[in-house]
Structures are given as structure tokens and as C-alpha cells.
Amino acid sequence: MSPEFAPYPFISTHYPATPRDAVAGGEPKRHPVVVVGGGPVGYCTALGLASHGVPVVLVEADDSVCFGSRAICISRRSLEIVERLGALDGFLRDGLPWTGGRSFYRDTEVLHFTMPTDANQKLPPMVNLAQYSIEQHLLDAAQARPDLIDIRWQTRVTGIERRADGARLTLAAADGEYPLLADWVVAADGGRSFLREALGLQLKGTSYEGRYVIVDILLDSQRPTERLAYFDPPCNPGSTVLVHKQPNNVWRIDYQLRDGEDPDAAILPENVMPRVASLLDMMGERGEWKPIWMGIYKANALTLESYRHGRVLFAGDAAHLVPIFGVRGANSGIDDADNLAWKLAFVVKGLASDRLLDTYSEERVAAAHENLSYGTKSTEFMAPPSFAFDLMRKAVLSLAVRHPEVRSLINPRQTSAISYLGTRLNAAPRQGAAFAAGPAPGAVLAECPVTLGDGGESREGHVTDLLGPRFTLLYFCDGDVPAALVDLERKLGGDGVPLKTVALSRTAAPNGDAARARDHTGRLFPMYDAVSGTSYLVRPDGHVLGRWKHTDATAVAAAIHHALRP
């Protein structure tokens, strides 16, 4: 008898098919940017471009957000990006924040890890939120910008003809095919990317043999949100089981298939149900539960060698496939989108040379290799690829009970913010010696509470609140912002290059036009090793471009010019 399945506790909106463009004779319509794929990466790219005022056509094959068991863990870095895209509220309202997890060997706890968090942080290190909710919140934000984001529902790309100045796409709408011209195409069309195939590109890397069954169930439990890993548990000897809590009483259970188990048989409900039941019994969960979804997963660690192919730019799963262990899939895709959006916007607006887009590929391919190296380590532990990894894991787990010195090998190496320390955009590398602390060029900002604004208008906030779709100069001072910096902001603004200088002071001194924030905790200046006159120049994606102990407006101008014409 097959069990009764429960639906996901989510009612998805179905969007009517977008009719095809009427192309009567003449040339098809031309658009600066077409984003292919309405997933987290496509929406983040579209929202990022819109934040810079660039119009986007987004093409989505389905009629709603995704269905089924997909990404569930969103990192602090992704939340920072989502906040800049205007969609954070829903993520925090619906998501479950968490800070750590526990690993068990048989019936003994062998690791309790916590992700970095402290009183300076604005956002939790991780929230759990189902991908359909992630997409819906991003989609809602995109639909609030109908002036700039044109979503083509139930429309599929079926052909691409590349040209020197863009591409001619063939789109299949519900009512027929039509051509469309794009100056730039963003391929965010997922792991089975049509565009990757159409361009004859291949992902390179490692595919693992070990398989996991992935089950989502509905269960009412007050158990806290944390990552649980059970190695060789009494309920399922020889296997590895992962458990994650999702909002609205949904639980994600992943368990490893034993060698020789037939994957097709393994995901039959009659084989899945008893495994889940015995796990819940072992965990002491006695409540009623129902299955929602069952699927199978095989880890891949693959990437394209370049994410820029002329006028086509690849992002997210279309560009790289990262193992689920360590939660780098959706998070690295959101990071891709954030890196790409401002660069593409600046190129489309004629403010930057298209070489800036080469740095998108350079930075994000390097990031993918870093993500893959951690993901590979996690996979080698979670799904041992040979007898040797299996044997050594047994040694680690059995020793970990009494020997804390080996426990770090069990740590799942959760995703953390990537630094572009080697990127050619970074300015003033020789200044590094002058700083004993603070984010180096290429790194993201260190979070710290500040008081935003001044006088009667002030409110509590954080350093990352000072960023926006522009270059931001964080100028540490106890007096006024020098006239040369005020002039630079005005001059670049006149050329269309957005720069905003924010004065960060230890005292609430009145000041003319410059935006201000105050280091009311006294922690910010030492955290950035700043003196009066120090500055950090920050890219639109929140990575530091350069820093100067004693700021010279000419050097700041040169750093921005170099970034725009690398």
C-alpha cells in the first residue's frame, strides 16, 4: 500500500503564458539584457540590473516558482545581497535562523559546531527557507519593478545565434515561436542549461558515485533549527543521515545509500518509509508525520572553465555544480548574480569597458574552485568515494568520541563569504602593510553596528546598510569630508558614475552635505584599523576595492577608473 503524501505547505501562484512578441516584417525587438531562467540566480541578476536602472527581459519556461525539494539554506552573505535587492524582509519573516549543528557517531555526539557569529552582526549566519519561498520573495520584488523587469512566463529559449554585438534568440511561447535580439544574454538556466549545451560547452570536474535519498516530510516538532548529522546510526547502521528543519513543519532528511543498493528501488515509498520511521523513532520524535517528496541525489563538483563567452554570461548551476554538503549551490549562484549585475549594468550604460565582464568570470571561476574544494572535502566525508575514505572516516568518528583533536575533520565546512584577494580590480595593494586589521581589497566588509544619519534623524544600523548600487567610500574622520572628495563625488556623478562618500565619525559632529554614520560602540575604528583620514572604497557588490590609511582623492579616482577600464 502506498503511503498518503502531504502537499508542501505553500500555495504557488500560477502565471499566465506571456504571448509572443508580434514581429511584423522588419527586425525583432532589441533588448540590452535577456536573462534566461527564473530561479534564484535569474531573479537576483534581474533585480541587481534593475537597481542600476537597466531594463531586463527575464525568460522562464514554467508558470510558477519551482516545486519540490531544492535549496533550503541561505547564508549570511546571500542575505546581505538579498537585502540590497530589496527582498530581505520576507526571507527573515519566513526563514528559520540557525547557528550550528551536531554530529553523532552511532549514539554519541562527536561534534557540536557553531558558525561565526557575534554581537556585531546584523544577520544570522544561516536561515533555512524552502526554494519555492526564496523564489517567490525574489519574484515579488521583481514584479514590483514592472518598469524595468519584463518577465516572459511559459517561454522557452529554443535557439541562439551569437553575433559580435549580441545574440539572436529564438523563444517558444505558448502561442508560437518568435525571435528576439539581445545585446547581452545571461544564462541562468540551471544545471541542465540549454544555453550551455547550445554553445557546446562542457562542465569539467568530478562526479561522485555515492547516492543520497532526499526526503521532505511534514512533522510538527519543537526541536531547534540546527544541522544534524548521524553517522552509522542505530536506526540505519552503515548509513549517514542528515536532518534539517525547514519552515512550516517541513523536515529535510538525506540519507546515504549503502554500496550495492539499487537507487531505483531505494526511492520507492515502501523502502523509504521504514527508514524515515526508524530515524524519527531514534530521534525521539513521536508525532504524526507524512512524506511530501522523495528523490535521489548524486554529488557533482563541476564547473565551466570560463563564465563569459562573448556576449553570453553563465551564472549559477548553468556555470557550476557544487555538492550539496556545505550548502554552496544556491548561495554561490546568488553571489554570481551579485558580482555580475553591477558589472553588466556599468557596461550596458557605457560607463565601463567590456573587460570588466572578464573579471566577472575570473573572480567567480576562482570562487567556484574555492567552493568546489570545500564541497569536495565535505563530499569525501559524507559520501566516501573509496574504501580508503570510508576506512579513514571510521577511524575519525570512532576516535572523535574521546579525542577532540580529530573532530575538525567532521566539520561540514559550511559556506562563508569568498574574498577576491587576487582580482586585478583591487587597488593600492601596497597600502596593505599600513593596516593591522580590517578587510583587505577583495574581501567583504566586516559587519559592525553604527548609528546612521545624524541629529534628530538618526537610527541604529550596521556598516552594510551604507552600501547601495554604487561605489561607496567609507571615510573615517572626526571632522569634515575634504573638499577634494566632495568634488570627486560630484565630478564622477556628472559622468554617470555613482559614488557616495559616507563620513564615519566617533562623535556626532554636524557636517554639511555628506552622509554620516557614527561609531557609537567604538568598535568600528579599531576593527578597520582606521584613523581620522582613513578610507575604504567599496564596490557595488560589497567587496572592498581599495583602502588608504591617509586618503588622497586622486588615488580614489584612479582606483575607480581602473575598475571601470581594467
Partner 1 sequence: MPTLTERELDQAYTHLCKTMTRLGEANATLFLARFALLAMTRIGDAEAALKLIDTAAEDVAAAAPA
Percent composition of the chain: helix, strand, coil (DSSP 3-state, to 5): 30, 30, 40
Helix axes 76-84, 40-51, angle to 10 degrees: 40
DSSP 503: E
Which span sits near partner 1 by CB under 8 A: 337-345, 389-397, 483-491, 555-563? 389-397
Task: Out of 380, 454, 465, 519, name the contact with partner 1 by CB under 8 A.
Answer: 380
Q: CB-side exposure of 393: number of CA atoms within 13 Å? A: 24
**Contact set for partner 1, span 320-359 (CB under 8 A):** none
Strands 156-163, 204-219: pairing is: unpaired
Indicate the residue among 391 and 531 with the shorter CB distance to partner 1: 391
Task: Out of 6, 406, 509, 558, name the contact with partner 1 by CB under 8 A.
Answer: 406
Indicate the residue among 405 and 495 with the shorter CB distance to partner 1: 405
What CA–CA distances, in Å, run from 354 to 184, 314, 507, 526? 11, 15, 43, 38
Residue 389 binds to partner 1 (criterion: CB under 8 A)? yes
Count of residues near partner 1 by CB under 8 A: 25
CA distance 301 to 303: 7
Which span sits near partner 1 by CB under 8 A: 286-294, 408-416, 438-446, 473-481? 408-416
Q: Find the shortest distance in angstroms from Cβ 57 to partner 1.
A: 45
CA distance 410 to 231: 10
Indicate the residue among 202 and 408 with the shorter CB distance to partner 1: 408
Residue 387 binds to partner 1 (criterion: CB under 8 A)? yes
Lay out the site mask for partner 1 across 495-514 (x = CB under 8 A, - = otherwise): --------------------
Reduce the DSSP state of residue 66 to 3 states and report it: coil
Indicate the residue among 249 and 411 with the shorter CB distance to partner 1: 411
Indicate the residue among 411 and 431 with the shorter CB distance to partner 1: 411
Residue 409 binds to partner 1 (criterion: CB under 8 A)? yes
Which span sits near partner 1 by CB under 8 A: 46-54, 137-145, 407-415, 520-528? 407-415
End-to-end CA distance of the chain: 64
Indicate the residue among 411 and 451 with the shorter CB distance to partner 1: 411
Rg of the chain over Cα atoms, rounded to whole angstroms, equals 25
Q: Find the shortest distance in angstroms from Cβ 406 to partner 1.
A: 8
Task: Out of 17, 277, 296, 391, name the contact with partner 1 by CB under 8 A.
Answer: 391
Indicate the residue among 53 and 238 with the shorter CB distance to partner 1: 238
Residue 421 binds to partner 1 (criterion: CB under 8 A)? no
Task: Out of 408, 487, 531, 532, name the contact with partner 1 by CB under 8 A.
Answer: 408
CA distance 72 to 79: 13
Lay out the site mask for partner 1 across 227-256 (x = CB under 8 A, - = otherwise): ----------xx------------------
Residue 531 binds to partner 1 (criterion: CB under 8 A)? no
Indicate the residue among 252 and 407 with the shorter CB distance to partner 1: 407
For CA atoms 419, 448, 528, 414, give the dihedral sign: negative
For CA atoms 57, 58, 63, 64, give the dihedral sign: negative
Nearest to 564 by CA among 347, 350, 352: 352
Look-up of cell digits 517541513: 250
Indicate the residue among 91 and 113 with the shorter CB distance to partner 1: 113
- Go through 343-379 and write b for each residue having 16 or more CB atoms within 10 A of its CB, e for each that does not: bbbbbbeebbeeebbbbbbbbbbbbbeebbebbbbbb
Nearest to 546 by CA among 465, 443, 417: 443
Residues that bind partner 1 (CB under 8 A): 237-238, 377, 380, 385-389, 391-392, 394-399, 401-403, 405-406, 408-409, 411
